[in-house]
Amino acid sequence: MRLSDETLLDIMARFQAEMQKGLGKDTNPTASVKMLPTFVRAIPDGSENGEFLSLDLGGSKFRVLKVQVSEEGKRNVQMESQFYPTPNEIIRGNGTELFEYVADCLADFMRTKELMQKKLPLGLTFSFPCKQTKLEEGVLLSWTKKFKARGVQGTDVVSSLTNAMRKHKQDLDVDILALVNDTVGTMMTCAYDDPYCEVGVIIGTGTNACYMEDMSNIELVEGDEGRMCINTEWGAFGDDGALEDIRTEFDRELDLGSLNPGKQLFEKMISGLYLGELVRLILLKMAKAGLLFGGEKSSALHIKGKIETRHVAAMEKYKEGLANTREILTDLGLEASEADCVAVQHVCTVVSFRSANLCAAALAAILTRLRENKKLVRLRTTVGMDGTLYKIHPQYPKRLHKVVRKLVPNCDVRFLLSESGSTKGAAMVTAVASRVQAQRKQIDKVLALFRLTREQLVGVRDKMRVELEYGLKRDTHPLATVKMLPTYVCGMPDGTEKGKFLALDLGGTNFRVLLVKIRSGRRSVRMYNKIFAIPLEIMQGTGEEVNAGQGVPRSEVPACHPIQCRPGMTAALSLQLFDHIVQCIADFLDYMGLKGAQLPLGFTFSFPCRQASIDKGTLIEWTKGFKATDCEGEDVVDMLREAIKRRNEFDLDIVAVVNDTVGTMMTCGYEDRNCEVGLIAGTGSNMCYMEEMRNIELVEGDEGKMCINTEWGGFGDNGCLDDIRTQYDKEVDEGSLNPGKQRYEKMTSGMYLGEIVRQILIDLTKQGLLFRGQISERLRTRGIFETKFLSQIESDRLALLQVRRILQQLGLDSTCEDSIVVKEVCGAVSRRAAELYGAGLAAIVEKRREDQGFEHLKITVGVDGTLYKLHPHFSRILQETVKELAPRCDVTFMLSEDGSGKGAALITAVAKRLQQARREK
Ligand code: BG6
Ligand code: BG6
Ligand code: GLC
Ligand code: GLC
């Protein structure tokens, strides 16, 4: 019975394999360690409260309890309990009678505690292996230990007990909300005091353990999010013969005489119900061999169960142990010499030591699994402990702890004794169950606001269509919220464009200066670019003079200062902004060795501009994160020209000003002539498309087509989307630089999605549904959820722990459960955004189809923007929605790999050619 360290490590490895087998869908049916999902997903967080009933059946004592979990955050639990006997005729009789007996005891308890009129939720601790498909149901797989009531195996014990309670209808009004194993109850009891507790171990009448497993590893339960407690039922380890090499003749003999031969073989080497019996069998053999008691036999030694675990514990006491041994042996009618007593004591030690060793090996396997699941080098964790053997045996805990620490040196384990049994924990589970139920309802209510029905999406599509028409018509144009701005871009590149161009790209996430070389014929374009930051002083417009120093390359700017995309960065003076842009151009030319070069320039300016020609653009109003003063109502080309003049260092020929949607459409149009739509899903949200001249009432002429910059971000500014706007959208709008404006953009684009998420999280936290109800400073900080974080959080490949880590990086101290909710919130917000984009785009392509009188339309959409490019689901949902809402259009999405700078250069090339032609004429 002595097990070497190697053997223990070997057993540990075998148990690890058993766990894996039990968790696998295909391997579970033949696994002896059943690894039962418990549907307990969260450990207590201190917010549990209420009054609960609890039953504790299956350990050495049967108890009924009332548990009062305090409110107001004070972790305070009060319990009143009553023990009831469990006579053999009840626990080994008829199942119905067993449950009726339990119901009788409950009714008696309620009567004596005067609880009859109360409707209380009940948590049932039932310490036998049960297969659960939900928390409030459990089919008994087999009886273990001392129980063997007929007709219960294979049935749901919750409904059996509920049925039995019907007899007491007048007195009993209880709702069984949870069925928990005693290990689970123990873990939860301990976790209430120590949030690190994620394992529960019982070493009592029987032995068993549970622990928190990653959902992604539990093949028998759907879903990959979060964790769930697994009741290992490790007592059955070895039932398939896996431990035959360490089982002894005594183990075999004991098993044959048990209520469940061949079953629970690991338990039978460990737990309190069997330990004394093992000692008896060994002593009997030694006595028979004449090694003890002077060859004299006692008839008491022949009687099964004569030596109990409490005897073993007493005999192993430090000081009184020897005296206790003599007394116990004398009571058995044995005349023991001093040497006999020492020998008997030794047998006890060997048997109980083996028990502790075996438990340690299995526990070490669980701890290793936890550590590996968390991908940690060192695990800090707490194990909740209970059971009479562990509690009354003088040396057991110390030995167990020592061996565990030896077997898993990379785990810092705290062993916490459950002082109040499993019931406190069962009440926690019940409380959590009722809290989770209630919270889920609240969270669902919030998320439902973001779920758009097909009808609603069709409504959005149709309203967009109406707005598009308004914007195009001369009469309605002035009041239109979707501005439908003519761009004076009338054709697609035809491949004859050529030359060297400068391009500026301002208004997206990055500000860039580019050199674009277009070679005709081969449709090949070479680009060189540099990203610059616009310093905070300029973005925030402190009014100070810009020093004449260097433009700041993006790489030298702290990453936390994105150029302009945060709300709240206001009022840069126009002078500063344009002088700074010119400074960056100068730096770039310098960097490219082109100082003094005179190049045609195309200016991608991603804001709404009213154009009278390709090289004139009056800024209507700033959107997104810009708010430089003295620019609105001014021509941006003039402002840039003047800044160049002020610098007086080089001359540039500003040939075209283009919106980023237009630049994107052109970039893609260079590859695919079918590309007649440009879409941006980035910091902002916008779309442009080729419209028939005859439909554009603002521009003379009916021939051909012209690109219209829709500025659809303003859709809804007249209130037409109010039916789907939520309180969160309104809050985001109110906190933005342009309240009341760009409502559609604020529901769809990268700059705002994170803000919507943040508003929802604040609200859920206020409702106590997240972050333990604590609104942190971080959560109050605008702009913390940039598009890239949103995209990371929603990635399918990410385990929940990684989501949690991202949130922690953002300064949000979230639990796993919080992380699930945050991910759901992100998902709901980004899905709605993609669907709204889809509805908007469907309106356009349908319009194009109808205008051309086609049955079917084949069209390509050039797309750009960080939201489209980084988000794991956005593009798919967008495409699905378009398909659904514009079924007669075959829409191809083409990602613009080169940004809009290339398109702007192409437009410049065409414009330049026309300019020259005009001059020559
Ligand atoms: C008790 C728990 O403290 O310990 C029971 O409340 C559990 O749920 C029992 O079954 C296990 O120990 P034993 O020794 O009573 O089987
Ligand atoms: C870039 C284009 O690729 O995408 C810009 O070059 C455009 O012109 C931008 O504004 C849009 O995306 P985001 O996410 O940077 O706003
Ligand atoms: C037996 C039961 C198990 C219980 C353990 C401790 O092993 O099968 O469910 O947890 O005893 O009471
Ligand atoms: C904003 C701007 C628009 C731009 C879009 C995408 O909506 O108003 O001009 O195209 O953002 O960057």
- For every residue of 445-472, DSSP letters joined together read HHHHTT---HHHHHHHHHHHHHHHHHHH
| pLDDT at res. 816 | 75
The CA 20 to ligand 1 mean position distance, Å, reads 27
Nearest to 54 by CA among 3, 16, 110: 110
Backbone angles phi, psi at 106, to 5 degrees: -60, -45
Q: What is the mean pLDDT of residues 361-378?
A: 97
Interval 689-709 mean pLDDT: 96
Per-residue pLDDT of 729-768, as tens digits, reads: 999 999 999 999 999 999 999 999 999 999 999 999 999 8
Ligand lying nearest the CA atom of residue 788? 2
Q: Work out the pLDDT band at 76, boundaries 50, 70, 90.
A: confident
Tell me phi and psi for residue 531, to 5 degrees: -95, 135
Report residue 456's pLDDT band, with 50, 70 and 90 as the boundaries: very high
Structural domains present in the chain: 39-180+421-449 (3.30.420.40), 241-417 (3.40.367.20)
Residue 548 has pLDDT above 60, yes or no: no
425 lines ligand 1 (CB under 6 A): no
pLDDT at 565: 33
Q: How far is CA 557 from CA 534, 535, 546, 554, 565, in A?
A: 9, 8, 17, 5, 15
Q: Which of the listed residues 487, 680, 741, 742 should we mutate to test ligand 4's pocket, taking the one with most ligand atoms within 8 A of CB?
A: 680
Determine the Cα–Cα distance for residues 325 and 302; give it in Å rounded to an integer.
18
Give the mean model confidence (pLDDT) for residues 193-205.
96
Q: Hey, whose CA ends up nearest to atom 12 of ligand 4?
A: 684
Ligand 2 centroid distance, CA of 900 (Å): 7
3-class state of residue 169 by DSSP: coil
Tell me: the pLDDT tens digits for 464-488?
Answer: 999 999 999 999 999 999 999 999 9
> For position 224, what pLDDT does the model report?
74
- How high is the pLDDT of residue 575? 65
204 lines ligand 1 (CB under 6 A): yes
Rounded to the nearest whole angstrom, what is the distance from the C-alpha of residue 696 to the centroid of ligand 4?
Answer: 21
pLDDT exceeds cutoff 60 at 546? no
Closest-approaching ligand to the CA atom of 527: 2
Residue 58 Cα: closest atom of ligand 1: 10
Percent of the chain with pLDDT over 90: 76
Q: How many CA atoms within 13 Å lie on the side-chain side of 917?
A: 6
| More confident site: 424 or 101 | 101
Residue whose Cα lies nearest atom 7 of ligand 1: it is: 59
One of 512, 743, 758, 804 is an active-site residue; which one? 512
d(CA 746, CA 823): 20
Nearest-CA residue for ligand 3 atom 4 is 127
Which of 615, 660, 729, 864 is catalytic? The answer is: 660
Query: Above pLDDT 70, what percent of the chain?
Result: 95
What's the mean pLDDT in 246-255? 98
CA neighbor of 519 nearest in space, from 829, 906, 913 = 906
Taking residues 187-206, what's their average pLDDT?
Answer: 95
Is 660 annotated as catalytic?
Answer: yes
Q: What is the CA radius of gyration of the chain?
A: 38
Q: Do the Cβ atoms of 874 and 681 come closer than 8 Å?
A: yes
Q: Span 85-92, mean pLDDT?
A: 95
The answer to whether residues 242 and 11 touch, using CB atoms and an 8 Å cutoff, is: no
Q: Residue 769, SS3?
A: coil
Active-site residue flag, 672: no
Helix axes of 272-288 and 338-373: crossing angle, nearest 10 degrees? 140
* Residues 7-48: tens digit of each pLDDT: 999 999 999 999 999 999 999 999 999 999 999 988 887 778
Q: Measured from the CB, is residue 604 less than 6 Å from ligand 3?
A: no
Q: 129: Cβ below 6 Å to ligand 3?
A: yes
